[in-house]
Copies of this chain bind each other. A is one copy, B any other.
Amino acid sequence: MVIYERTPHYYETDQMKIVHHSNYIRWFEEARVAYLDAVGIRFADQEAAGIVCPVLTVDAKYIRMVRFGDTVEITTRVNLYNGLRWGFSYEVRDKATGELCCTGTSTHCFLDTAGKIIRPKREYLTMHELLTECLAKDAE
């Protein structure tokens, strides 16, 4: 579990005077980059090494509007790893009140630069062990 703090930017608001819903999908990405960073995987290094992580699915449930001037905390957990696919859950909370604003999940796989699926257990053992450990810890 890693908590990522974020202050909405003005350009992320829309004319409803709230953060546009599409931006939460981007925040989820920021939160998982922060998660990986916290557990020792630099996303940029991984791509430089020829491993990309496309998004397979994403979903979000919007519970409470977030506005410019608010600060949110995004709690990210690994909630899936089956040897092939891996996933995260996200909880966006208002930092001041603790109120839940949005929840979501995303799932991913690993590809090499040729677009071939990488099986972490065989070809990316560090990641296999890390995901196994994160999944166990985050389920506690």
Contacts and interface: CB of A to CB of B under 8 A. Distances in A.
Interface of A: 9-11, 13-18, 20-23, 25-26, 29-30, 33, 42-45, 47-48, 52, 54-62, 65, 67-69
Contacts of A48: 69
- What is the oligomeric copy number? 4
Contact of A11 (B9, B29, B42, B65): B29
A16 B54 contact: yes
Most buried by B among A10, A17, A45: A10
B10 A15 contact: yes
25 contacts: A10-B14, A10-B20, A10-B29, A10-B33, A11-B20, A11-B26, A11-B29, A14-B14, A15-B15, A21-B25, A22-B23, A25-B25, A43-B68, A44-B68, A44-B69, A45-B69, A48-B69, A54-B62, A55-B62, A56-B62, A57-B60, A57-B61, A57-B62, A58-B60, A59-B60
